[in-house]
Amino acid sequence: GAALAERVAAAGGVIGRDDLAAPTAEWAEPVRQDGIWVTPAPTRGPALLAALAGERVLVGGPTGEGTSVVAAADGEGNAVVMVHSNSHPQFGSGLVAEPYDLVLSNRAGRGFHPDPGHPDGPAPGRRPPTTLHAWALDTRGTGRPDLFGATPGGEQQVPWNAQVLGDLMTTGPDDLGAILTRPRWSLQDGARVPVEASASAVRPAHVLLRVTGTGLTAAADPRIGAVALGV
């Protein structure tokens, strides 16, 4: 913490040690709807549920590359999905806290709305919204999720996750690879544009992980180098 505060101060920033001591981590319950679990606000999980329910959803936030998704499961059926982002341009703020080689993110600052009067405007103690979110799906009707996933992609995460979940709920989870490699569209100026024709270089990189009583299944979208491994 001291090293971080010193590095920020040296660059003219205003975050001090007292600011770092104030926040506390907390467990948050997922939001559940019709066999789908999503990470709660301030993530875009609730927006994903709204999109799947047919509501028109307009979301904004950091764009560009810089996000990674990792999903893992063990032989006992425990599963985790982690979505991490330093935000744009890839290396966050560009500051590194020595001697820990800790790259400092700028995602929180870019998540706030520039207008202080906006509901997402910056204010003491307020948590900025984030496009990052993960989801889980009950494909067997057991009341427990067995399929987990997420993707990077900035403001495209909600439409891309909605497309994948829509396919999963329509055709089932038997061929995860076929679902992941289907053509996708991005939202661009309110219109649906095939990802290959989008002006953005960002592409889907979904990872899917299914945990059942008979074993584990993993799949990863090959569009930008995602990979699934068994060890």
Residues 146-174: tens digit of each pLDDT? 999 999 888 899 999 999 999 999 999 99
Residue 135 forms beta bridges with which residues?
Answer: 38, 149
Q: Calculate the average pLDDT of the chain.
A: 87
In a domain, 61, yes or no: yes
Query: What sign results for the dihedral spanned by CA atoms 91, 93, 95, 101?
Result: negative
Among 39, 90, 36, smallest CA distance to 68 is for: 90
The DSSP H or E segment spanning 176 is helix 176-180
Of residues 8 and 113, more confidently modeled: 8
In a domain, 155, yes or no: yes
Helices 157-171, 45-52: crossing angle, 10 deg rounding: 50
In a domain, 12, yes or no: no
CB 63 within 8 A of CB 154: yes
CA dist., res. 220 & res. 54, Å (int): 26
28-32, 215-219, 220-224, range with greatest mean pLDDT: 28-32
pLDDT at 80: 94
Residue 140 forms beta bridges with which residues?
Answer: none
Q: Is the pLDDT of residue 121 over 90?
A: no
Among 61, 218, 203, smallest CA distance to 149 is for: 218
CA distances from 171 to 21, 37, 55, 168, 178 (A): 48, 19, 22, 5, 10
Q: Two tokens at 188? A: 């661009």
In a domain, 209, yes or no: yes
pLDDT at 124: 81
In a domain, 22, yes or no: no
Of residues 214 and 136, more confidently modeled: 136
For residue 230, what pLDDT band results from cuts at 50, 70 and 90? confident
Domain of 147, CATH number, reads: 3.60.20.40
CA dist., res. 122 & res. 119, Å (int): 9
pLDDT at 90: 63
55-99 pLDDT per residue, tens? 877 665 555 567 889 999 988 888 999 998 877 666 778 889 988
Number of other CB atoms surrounding residue 52 within 10 Å = 20
In a domain, 199, yes or no: yes
Instruction: Give me the number of domains the chain comprises.
Output: 1
In a domain, 171, yes or no: yes
For residue 199, what pLDDT band results from cuts at 50, 70 and 90? confident
**What's the rounded mean pLDDT across residues 45-53?**
94
In a domain, 103, yes or no: no
pLDDT at 88: 61
Q: Is the pLDDT of residue 208 over 80?
A: yes
pLDDT at 100: 92
Of residues 125 and 167, more confidently modeled: 167
Q: Residue 82 belongs to what domain range? A: 27-91+128-224
pLDDT at 62: 53
